[in-house]
Amino acid sequence: MTDEQTTIELLRRFSPLDGLKRDNLAALARKVQVRELSPGQVLFKEGDTEKRTFYIVAGVLELQDHGKAVGTVEGGSDFARNPVAPVYPRRVSAKARDRVQFISVDSDLLDVMLTWDQTGTYEVSELQGQEDVGGGTEDWMTMLLQTKAFHKIPPANIQAIFMRMQQINYKSGDVILKQGAEGDYFYVLTRGSALVTRETPLSKDGIKLAELHVGDTFGEEALISDAKRNATVTMTTDGAVMRLGKEDFKKLLNEPMLDWVDLASAQQIVAGGGQWLDVRLPSEFENQHLDGAVNIPLYFIRLKINTLDPSKKYVVCCDTGRRSSAGAYILSERGFQAYVLQGGINKDPI
């Protein structure tokens, strides 16, 4: 199987991709490749629920119902302009009769892009603001739209988010936000790279928590928990960010992305294979915690997130629910299924 980068002209052959504005279609083209199936290979099976939108570029794809041929999709035909069997779960199976070339798009991403494209009066180039220095600044938007948690956000909110964001340019060594300062903005790194550090009594220079690259987000913890900044973010190269004000962030991004559960529901999730994740300080955790809980302090979540199991459900908890809501947001934003214990562990007897 070989992959070949798509072009705007190729994507315009398909519906509803042909309705996207050129710059938005170009952003999609950079994320989609032409792939191949050998004769007899299966593209998907009857009953599949994976949300992928498929288009046939060349060759003949046979549609089968319980092993019996019920139709074909031939690349270049009028019928092939439309997605193949777009209903979920799939009502048919699809198998290549000969060498088939196809493209595959995340269905949720496509739906968000179409809505974003059609409800706004702007294009990607207009949102970038400044000229593209070094290339790839549009990738941060595509990365956000591909984030599973972003699919919880109503399309109207997505439109408002991009329209209300401001671009700020920085030089290498500039401090974007300082530990101990008040939280005022949510940030997306759109160009360059940055370092997240946290000052401790044993390290005034700060311990390294994370490296940030294009598409990474930061600054949400202080906004959600109404606390001081718990780390410093410093540019390691020249670059730029897009930022969203605190109130816009809370209304447009935070509220739709968080799933709150009461203690009974949380206990059911944990009993069904989920995991308590306590984001308080180790001293707080040692003094009092829920049975079976693991402890990752909020300021360490970005550093330790690769130790968590993406297939597991996490119920994030703290004493009141404030810090845990910030932790759950970070997990959700990175594709984890996370819930927040409403009121925290101090609300009900343990």
Q: First vs last Cα of the chain: how many Å apart?
A: 55
Tens of pLDDT, residues 156-208: 677 778 788 888 999 999 999 999 898 899 998 989 999 999 887 776 677 88
Segments making up each domain of the chain, as ranges: 4-106, 120-254, 258-341
pLDDT of residue 121: 42
Residue of 42, 43, 37 whose CA lies nearest to 58 = 37
- Clarify whether 317 is annotated catalytic: no
Q: Which listed CATH number (3.40.30.10, 3.30.930.10, 2.60.120.10, 3.40.250.10) goes with 120-254?
A: 2.60.120.10
Domain covering 4-106 in this structure, CATH number: 2.60.120.10
**Residues ≥6 apart with Cβ < 8 Å to 135:** none
Question: Is residue 10 packed enough to be buried (19+ CB in 10 Å), middle (13-18) or exposed (0-12)?
Answer: middle
Helix or strand run (H / E) with residue 224? helix 220-225
**What angle in degrees, to the nearest 10, is found between the helix axes of 139-146 and 22-29?**
70
Distance CA 336, CA 311 (A): 8
pLDDT of residue 44: 95
Residues 140/254/300/260 CA torsion (nearest 10 deg): -140
User: Which neighbouring-strand residues pair with 212?
Assistant: 194
Below-50 pLDDT ranges, the chain: 1-4, 121-137, 349-350
Q: Do 98 and 59 meet the contact criterion of CB atoms below 8 Å apart?
A: yes
DSSP secondary structure string, 65-92? ETTEEEEEEETTSSGGGSPSS-SSS-SS
Same fold, 4-106 and 120-254: yes
- Active-site entry in 103, 277, 279, 318: 318
SS3 24: helix
Residue of 200, 159, 192 whose CA lies nearest to 176 = 192
pLDDT of residue 148: 62
pLDDT of residue 183: 87
Question: What architecture is the 258-341 domain classified under in CATH?
Answer: 3-Layer(aba) Sandwich (3.40)
Q: Which amino acid is it at 309?
A: D
Tens of pLDDT, residues 127-150: 444 434 334 445 677 667 766 666
Pairing of strands 239-245, 166-170: antiparallel
